[in-house]
Amino acid sequence: MERDGVVVVGSHVQGLFMRVERFPAADETVLGWDYREALDGGKGSHQAIACGRLGLKTWFVGKVGKDRLGERGAGWMRDAGVDLSFLAWSETSATGCGFVMIRGDGVPAITTAMGANEELSPADIDRAAPLFEKARLVLVTFEIPAATALYALRRAKELGAKTILTPGPAEPLARDALRGLDILVPNRTEAGVSMGDAAGRDVPALELARRLQDYFGVQKVIITLGADGALVTDGPDQRQVPAYKVEVLDTPGAGDAFTAGLAAGLVAGAPLAEAAQFGCLTAARAVTIRESVPGFGTFAEITDFAAAHGFEIPSRILQSRRAAG
């Protein structure tokens, strides 16, 4: 059986925003304004939406509450073409949400209630096993219990899928926690914290990638570097993939756009560095658009964006899409 499609295992967290002149102190109420339920979700739903919009056959494995915010997030994913057959609905917990207060100088203060995401269990992963048997890639994020995320990686690997982990929000992991993982995709902070070294973000990316390889035994490591692009390490080989220079309006969701672009490149048969280059392109478009979900482009939108800015789409990916019609 030829494998096809992408399974995303992760969270959905509705973003709630309000502007304030200053943050409240203990036992104080501060008036705010410009409250909005942004087009912004969790890392898992973001990656699922971004993959779906890029035209990949996509399934989402996660959990939301039986409430309005859960229905809203599910609607975003359905609109992107994501299959929700294995989305679980909690009878007891609300959909996860993050409340963001934004001060006048743009500095945010954030509180997050993970809600139904905390209930996603290995039993939910086992129910989704038929997907792992036929999918080409399984993308896993945190914002769900770490034990469940790591179990999903192991189960997917046992059933023959290629696995990608974006370890955010990061937490220290045992050396053998990622045994068998195919591709690890952290940012600088996540890379250091994952190894129990919060100061790791100050280490040069080349050295940080080597440390990750040695610590976890994962040979394919991509460190995302924001405006500096990404460092791609595959065994002894390392390559810096530059970012595309654009006017930045909004950065939330950029990392998830990168991961979806990386997945699309790998599904198209591109080498790792070329797939990461397409990830940088999808992330570049994302940061030019306000709010996360609208920034996740279709392949046609990415093509138009590249043409408008004089950017090139990696040849292997372009050829694959043309061949697919």
Q: How far apart, in whole angstroms, are the C-alpha atoms of residue 284 and residue 209?
A: 23
Fold that domain 6-11+42-93+117-324 belongs to in CATH: UDP-N-acetylmuramoyl-L-alanine:D-glutamate ligase (3.40.1190)
Counting as low any pLDDT under 50, the low residues of the chain are: none
Question: Tokens for 181?
Answer: 């993982």
Q: What pLDDT, on a 0 to 100 scale, did the predictor assign at position 231?
A: 98
Q: What pLDDT, on a 0 to 100 scale, did the predictor assign at position 110?
A: 86
Q: What pLDDT, on a 0 to 100 scale, did the predictor assign at position 197?
A: 83
Task: Convert the pLDDT of each residue in 182-230 to its tens digit.
Answer: 999 999 999 999 999 866 667 899 999 999 999 999 999 999 999 999 9
Q: What pLDDT, on a 0 to 100 scale, did the predictor assign at position 74?
A: 98
Q: How far apart, in whole angstroms, are the C-alpha atoms of residue 194 and residue 197?
A: 7
Task: Convert the pLDDT of each residue in 62-108 to its tens digit.
Answer: 999 999 999 999 999 999 999 999 999 999 999 999 998 999 887 88
Domains in the chain: boundaries: 6-11+42-93+117-324
Q: How far apart, in whole angstroms, are the C-alpha atoms of residue 77 and residue 94?
A: 18
Residue given tokens 């996509």 in the structure block: 58
Length of the chain: 325
pTM across the whole model: 0.95
Query: Alpha carbon 247 to chain centroid distance?
Result: 22
Residue given tokens 């992408």 in the structure block: 6
